[in-house]
Amino acid sequence: MLSIELVRVEEPAPSDQESLLAAVQISGQWMGSAVLVLSPEFASESAAAMLQLPIQEVTEADRKDVAAELANMIGGNLKSFLPGPSFLSLPTIIAGHDFGLQVHDAELLDDVVLKAESGSLSIRLYAKVPELAS
């Protein structure tokens, strides 16, 4: 959709750089979260492509809006594979670096790091930990 070539890499995304984090929660029979971490360069390239703007005209608000939309799209696609009914939250957006992200009562199922020419995109999937039987 964005015409950005992405390649999966096995190395972790750098955690000490400025990033844009977009998260959506899925609730229903299956509960979890989809968390995207975009490098500033990838966020700018994605916003330029989605909004059909020259990259030098992309604003911080554009980057955040597009990160939220990408989280909605990925979360919505994931939700379609889950047992229903399922509900998708509004996206949460955080900008900064050195995040101490913790998804309460959840375990990390997968962390996929994708690289583009401009930067990186990490997609993390968390699932609620089932409560222990008493």
Domains of the chain: which residue ranges?
A: 7-128
Report the DSSP beta bridge partners of residue 70: none
Q: Global pTM?
A: 0.86
At 63-118, the pLDDT tens digits run 999 999 999 999 999 999 988 899 999 999 999 877 777 788 889 999 999 999 88
Average pLDDT of the residues of the chain: 88
Rounded Cα–Cα distance for residues 55 and 105 (Å): 39
Torsion of CA 100, 102, 108, 111, to 10 degrees: -30
CATH topology of domain 7-128: Chemotaxis protein chec (3.40.1550)
| pLDDT at residue 134 is higher than 50 | no
Q: Where are the alpha helices (DSSP H) in the chain?
A: 40-51, 60-79
